[in-house]
Structures are given as C-alpha cells and as structure tokens.
Chains A and B, each alone.
Chain A
Amino acid sequence: MTAVALRGVQVERGGTRILRDVDLDLPAGAFCVFVGPSGCGKSTLLRLIAGLDDDHEGEIAIDGRSMAGVPPAKRQVAMVFQGYALYPHMTVRQNMAFALRRAGLAAADIDARIAHAARILELEDLLQRKPAALSGGQRQRVAIGRAIVKKPKVFLFDEPLSNLDAGLRVQTRVEIAKLHRDLGSASMLYVTHDQVEAMTLADRIVLLRPIINSPAEGSIVQVGKPMDLYHRPANLFAARFIGTPSMNLIECRVSSLGDEGVTVELQDRSLLARVSAAGLGIGDSVTLGVRPEHVRVAGDADASRRLEARVTHIESLGEHTLLYTVLPGVTGQPAMLVKTTNECAIGVSDRVPLSVAPGVLHVFDRHGLAQARMT
C-alpha cells in the first residue's frame, strides 16, 4: 500500500526550475528521508505534499486519493516544522488541542489523545506551560506531540534537528527512530540535508540534487535503502554525497574488459574492479571510486590490488586516523584519503603501500554513471 505517490511533479519558481520529473511511490508505514544539498527542492517537495504550496505540475496522491484541490487541513497529514511553529500565546495543551478543536472532536477524545501523546513524549509535566518557558528539546517534543494527536496518515518532518545543538541532535535522532517503531503503522516523511540522519533513520532514502545548473536532469538521483546507496551509488553525485569522509574519486583509463570485471590503469599498474563492462571500451576515460574506509594500508602480492602512496597529512581522531596521501605518478588528482584504525607508526612523507580489493572499487563512466556491481 502506498502512502504517498508522486507522478511527474515539476516545480518552477520565478522562471527557475526547482524540481523536475519527480516520480515516487513511498510505501505505507515506512520512514522515508528526502536528503540532498541545499537547493535540491526537498523542502519544496514536502510542502507540496502537505498542501502548503500547490503551484506544481503533476499529481500527488496520499493513501490513494488525489490531492488536487485538497486544502492542507483535509489531507490527513501532520507536520513538524523546522522552527517548531508552536503558538506562543497558547499553552502546550492548547497547542496540542488546537487542530482537534478545529475539527470538532469531543472533549473527552481530545483529552485522551493528548494524554497518550504526553505519555509517549514525557510532556505530562509541561502541559500548562507556554512555549517560551520550554527548552529547545522540549519544544521539539511538543511539536511532535501536536502532530501525533492528529493521528495523520503521514507525518512530515522538515529538518527538525537543525535547530538543536549537537548532543541533543544525536539523542533526538534516536528518539525519533523509536517513535516510528512505537507508532506502528505511521508513515513518516523526513527532510534533511544531513546524510548521517538519512542513513541512520531511513527505511528508504530519496536522494535529490539541485537542478538549477542542469537543464535536462531529473531531481531524483537515487531511491533505495541506506545500505544500497552506500554500497551501490548510482552515480558520482550519490557517491560523493553518502559517506563521510566522501569517496575517493580518481580519473583513469580502462585497460581491459572481461568477465571478471573492468581493469583500469593507475600508477602504471592494473587494478581490477568487479563491475560490469557494459558500455565501456578499452581506453575509455572512467572515474575510479573507493571509499577511504575500504583502502587497506598493507602490501599485497597481487599486483591488481596494489598502489603506492606518499603521506602528506595525518589527522588522528582517536578511534580512527585519516591519512591524506598522494599517488606519485598520478598527477592532477585530489588527495587519496585513507581511513584506518591501525595505530600505525606512519609519519608525514612516509611512503605507504595501499591495497584495494576488486569488490570495493567503483567505476563510473564518462557521464558519471556507475557500472553495475557484480554479485
């Protein structure tokens, strides 16, 4: 069952196209995260689903019902705003009761719902306070509580953690995930620019990119489970966006193609990547990708896995160390980052051997599209 379906949604604002070709089916009960850098239109998309904006082409349906001409209040959605949007002149209880009173619910029903939400969110002692007397984290919980009592078909979250400080952010992240489990069949749509939030909270990620400078590309880069995006990014954009530090990307040439995969030439060595050779020819320029955490600091007998690097900078973070290296003989490339947990006695200017397994190498063709992984 689909909670939210979008077909051919296009959005233009002031002559500039913000969203293009958005087609999505978001399953009911899932936690979906719209993630992407600023300008990709994720908040706009959320607001379209909420009905706060209706200036778009294409169709939006919630729970199978078309939302054309349906005002926000009738869409059975609830939204948690970035700034919480709590009514300053009302108490917490009044804030939570507001929508229910508008809808004409019986007083007993309203009280029951508020009591239930207050219990889940630990707001029972705060019900008589006004928002000004609450801390940031408390206000956020009230905002969530206000959404819960409406018993919506879809919860919408617009960057709810961005106004919290770092420690509170991690804690609240966990609480939101827990909330999703507790509320059972609630569908949640969550917008953020932070890929960590996306990776940790999502059942499904919708990765969006800004299309302002690309006249033909669609807004959606990739849709899938977090681990799918991590292991199989569809293109360079996805590869760069997911994962911290981001994937190392090196340009090189295809030296041979075969059933085992694609071999590229780097540093006068041949490296094998276990990806499909479809569409590639020998001598083609491709981009090789490998995540810093997948590069091993070790020698390898197998030449098809081995690289030589020189360390230019080291950052020790305690639980891991980041080595900034350059590959001698390979010019015009950004630093090759290596993330290692070895407490190795490596110093700057040292030469270190690096090994990369075929299974962790990504290959992107000259359009930036990823070659399909084998197995």
Chain B
Amino acid sequence: MNASDNRDAGAAWAFLAPTMALMTLFMLAPVLVALVVSLLKMDVISGHVQWAGLKNLDYLLEDEKFWAALRNTVRYVLVVVPAQTVLALGLACLLNGKVRFRRGFVTLLFLPTLTSSAAMTMIFMWLFNNNGLVTQYLQVHWGVTVRFLSDPAWALPVIMLMNVFSTVPLFMVVFLAGLQDIPAALYEAIELDGAGPLRKHWEISVPQLMPILFYVVTMGLIGCFQVFDQAFIVSGGDGGPENSTLTFTLLIYHFAFKTYNTMGLACMLALVLMLIIVAATALVNRFFKADGVNR
C-alpha cells in the first residue's frame, strides 16, 4: 500500500537532511557548474564570463601541454596499476601461507599507506634528489650518475615508484582478507593433484579473487588517473622538468589558477578526464566480466 511504502518519510528526510544539503551544494552543484563553465571563458578574479562553447575543446586538443599530460597520465596508469595490483596480490598470497608473525608483518607493511602523500613525497625527494641516499648509492657502488628529479626521463618513474610503494599495502590487506575466505580444502585438493605454489595460486587464488581483483584494478585506475599531490610537490607545481610530471589534474590546476582566463579550459579538461576514467572503467568492466564468465 502506498501509505506504508512511505511511512518513515518524515524521519528519513530528517536523517538525510545534512547529507542531502551538503551533497547538493558541494557535489551536485560543482558537476553542474563544471558543465556550464566548461563552455565559457571565465576570469575568476573579475568574474567576467564569455561564451566559448566547444572552442575550449579545440583549444585543448591543440595545446601541447594537453598531449603531454595525456601521455604522462596514461603512461603512469599503465605502469602503476598492474605493478601495484600484482605486487599486492603476490604479497597477500605469501602472507596467506603459514607465516609466523603475520600480524606483525601486516602492521609493519601498512606504514606507507598511513603516511600522507605530502610527507611520503618529501621523504622520497630526499632519497632521490642530487644528494639523496639512492643517488649517492648508485654513484658510489655502480658508478652511475642519475639526476632523478631533474631528469625528464626519471622524474615520473620516481613518482610511480612512490605511488606503488604507498598503495600496495592497502590493496594487499584487501586481497589478504579475500584470500582468508577461500576454503583451505581447495588448496589441499590441488596440492594432492601435484600443483606447486605458483600453479596453486594461479588456479585457485586468482579466480576466487576475481571480484576483489576487479575492485582493486578499478579503484587503482580511478586513483591513478587523478594523480596530483606527488606531481605537484616534486615539480614545485609546474609539471616539470620539461612537462614530464605534468599530469591531467595538475594541468587542470594550472588552467584554473595559474593562467589567465582559462577556468573554462580547466572545467572542460576535468570533464574530459571524467570521460576518460569512465571509458577506462567500462573497458576494465568488460574485460573482467567476460573473463569472469569463462572462469
């Protein structure tokens, strides 16, 4: 009956009031704002607006910085997501076995995830800058001189390393929880059939973990496409050296606050990024669902 479908309406809306108010203001409205502003030429300081329409999109596509950001971000995603997924999975599989002090290991390994990106970036910058421990070690023991943070070829890889280092523990714990749910009997059965450790995990762990794998890859993807903090801090905000650390979000930031009259570009770029993320997620989704059915 209609009345009883709605009987808690009063209480429900009261409970939801703060959330709905804040969500509308600071989540819904911004999306709408982005849609509108992306078609404008806007000066944030004076508030002056001018219609630009899809010219903003054209401008973006002609900007070499856009393509640099695209290249960097895609490269970043293609390296970091597989790396952190595989490493997290591997560690989780190892920890799932008969390990003494498992709690201790997990507790210890979780440290990078607890640390803020800012603090972590500082520490890594100190490790990899021209006087850094790693740089010096390479010089002294291997005779190689690499100026990591000022070399366009190395700056982004350092950030990649940093991110893998930080997020692996989080996903490792997620995988571990999933592994603990797998009945031991499955592993025992396949051992009786003569499977070694690698085969065991490939045949049992991976298929059983498919939903979690899907989640980790998707979350990893979304997170990586949005990388900002480390790129900002390492490059001092400009995306250098030579645009090698310019990521999408950093470019959005530039258009929003560093250049004149380009807030519209910032919003347009944000929407483009959103579309890319949706497309990438859909791709992963398709891949996993198809695979999931077969397995």
Q: How far is the CA of A55 from the CA of B8 in the complex (A)?
A: 13
How many residues of chain B are within 8 Å of chain A by beta carbon? 4
B78-93 contact mask (Cβ, 8 Å, vs A): 1 or 0: 0000000000000000
Find chain A residues with CB under 8 A from B5 CB.
55
Q: How far is the CA of A184 from the CA of B1 in the complex (A)?
A: 39
Q: Does B46 have its Cβ within 8 Å of any Cβ on chain A?
A: no
Q: How far is the CA of A56 from the CA of B1 in the complex (A)?
A: 7
With A55-B4, A56-B1 given, can you name 6 additional A-B contacts, CB distance below 8 Å? Answer: A53-B4, A54-B4, A54-B7, A55-B1, A55-B5, A57-B1
A interface, CB within 8 angstroms of B:
53-57
Find chain B residues with CB under 8 A from A55 CB.
1, 4-5
CB distance from B222 to the nearest CB of A (A): 36
CB distance from B5 to the nearest CB of A (A): 8
Closest partner residue, chain B, to A69 (CB atom): B3
Q: How far is the CA of A54 from the CA of B5 in the complex (A)?
A: 10
The A interface is mostly helix, strand or loop, or mixed, namely loop
CB distance from A239 to the nearest CB of B (A): 36
Find chain A residues with CB under 8 A from B1 CB.
55-57
Q: How far is the CA of A57 from the CA of B2 in the complex (A)?
A: 12
CB distance from B144 to the nearest CB of A (A): 64
Residues of B1-52 whose CB lies within 8 A of A: 1, 4-5, 7
Q: How far is the CA of A51 from the CA of B1 in the complex (A)?
A: 15
CB distance from B170 to the nearest CB of A (A): 32
Q: Can you list 8 contacts pairing A with B, beta carbon distance less than 8 Å?
A: A53-B4, A54-B4, A54-B7, A55-B1, A55-B4, A55-B5, A56-B1, A57-B1
Which 8 pairs between the two chains have the least Cβ-Cβ distance? A55-B4, A55-B1, A54-B4, A54-B7, A56-B1, A53-B4, A57-B1, A55-B5
Q: How far is the CA of A55 from the CA of B7 in the complex (A)?
A: 10
Closest partner residue, chain B, to A54 (CB atom): B4
Q: How far is the CA of A55 from the CA of B5 in the complex (A)?
A: 8
Q: How far is the CA of A55 from the CA of B4 in the complex (A)?
A: 6
Find chain B residues with CB under 8 A from A53 CB.
4
Find chain A residues with CB under 8 A from B7 CB.
54
Find chain B residues with CB under 8 A from A57 CB.
1
Closest partner residue, chain A, to B1 (CB atom): A55
Closest partner residue, chain B, to A57 (CB atom): B1
Find chain A residues with CB under 8 A from B4 CB.
53-55
CB distance from B177 to the nearest CB of A (A): 26
Closest partner residue, chain A, to B5 (CB atom): A55
Find chain B residues with CB under 8 A from A54 CB.
4, 7
Q: How far is the CA of A53 from the CA of B7 in the complex (A)?
A: 11
Q: How far is the CA of A57 from the CA of B5 in the complex (A)?
A: 14
Q: How far is the CA of A265 from the CA of B7 in the complex (A)?
A: 60
Closest partner residue, chain A, to B4 (CB atom): A55
Q: How far is the CA of A56 from the CA of B3 in the complex (A)?
A: 11
Closest partner residue, chain A, to B2 (CB atom): A55
Q: How far is the CA of A167 from the CA of B202 in the complex (A)?
A: 50
Closest partner residue, chain B, to A53 (CB atom): B4
Residues of B240-277 whose CB lies within 8 A of A: none
